[in-house]
Copies of this chain bind each other. A is one copy, B any other.
Amino acid sequence: MIGKIFSNNCPRRERRKEARPGELLAAALELFVEKGYAATRSEEVARRAGVSKGTLFLYFATKEELFKAVVRENIAGRFAEWNTEFETFEGSTPEMLRYALVMWWERIGKTPAAGITKLMMSEAVNFPELAAFYQQEVIEPGHELIRRILQRGVDRGEFRPMDMEHAIFAVLAPMIFLMSWKHSFGACVSSATLLDPERYLEQQAQILLHGLCSPDTAGKATSQGKT
């Protein structure tokens, strides 16, 4: 009984043991995002997780495995939740689009998870298998979600007809750009900090919806586009 109390009250070892992989993944995420795959040393990952080098390799057979695990771990399948939000959203599609960008920033863009995308893009070529996984788990569901939003707008007559597949990239690009910028120049070149993500996204929504043209000229130029 008493033994049980102790083991329940103070199972630091036990709990640590179970938490280990998570702590290692967290440390690795930070470091990979901070310095890139190659420049991250396994010893430092271990140290930051508070364990020894040997322990790291107890949980992840190789650095490559660790990297893959970090990416997989941090690509939470949020799409179920988001699809639900999409289906229950009641406002206009322009509002939905604006909402999507803002929510994305809150939930992904400003979190360390954004670093993963940047990382994934930097290393895609060296980890094609991982890139394929990412494609399947993130890119495709993401595209699908954006496609549904855009289609909703078209269906409801809020958006003009469009080349859907490329329009998806029009919505995606500001997000990708923001993650890339934040985790590259944004992290080291002072003047690059001029970019305020929230204002940028707000304005981006505006432009996506209405463009840069002043209202009176908007009609005329349209005819030129191939779209």
Chain A residues engaging chain B, CB cutoff 8 angstroms: 34-39, 92, 94, 97-98, 118, 120-126, 128, 131-132, 134-135, 139-140, 150, 153, 157-160, 162-163, 165-167, 169-170, 172-174, 176-178, 180-181, 183-185, 187-189, 191-192, 194-196, 199-200, 202-215, 217-219, 221-222, 224-227
Contact = CB atoms under 8 A, between A and B. Distances in A.
A13 to B, nearest CB: 13
Contact of A221 (B134, B167, B209, B213): B209
17 contacts: A35-B126, A36-B125, A97-B212, A124-B184, A124-B188, A131-B185, A134-B185, A134-B189, A160-B215, A162-B203, A167-B203, A203-B225, A206-B225, A210-B218, A210-B222, A211-B218, A215-B218
Q: Enumerate the 8 nearest inter-chain pairs by beta-carbon distance, A residue then B residue, closest first.
A: A38-B38, A211-B211, A210-B211, A121-B184, A173-B177, A206-B225, A122-B122, A124-B184
B203 A125 contact: no
B209 A169 contact: no
B185 A121 contact: yes
Question: Which of A39, A194, A217 has the most CB atoms of chain B within a 10 A radius of its CB?
Answer: A217
Copies per complex of this chain: 4
Contact of A166 (B118, B188, B195): B195
The A contact surface, by secondary structure, is helix
A39 to B, nearest CB: 6
A227 to B, nearest CB: 5
Contacts of A217: 94, 157-158
B38 A36 contact: yes
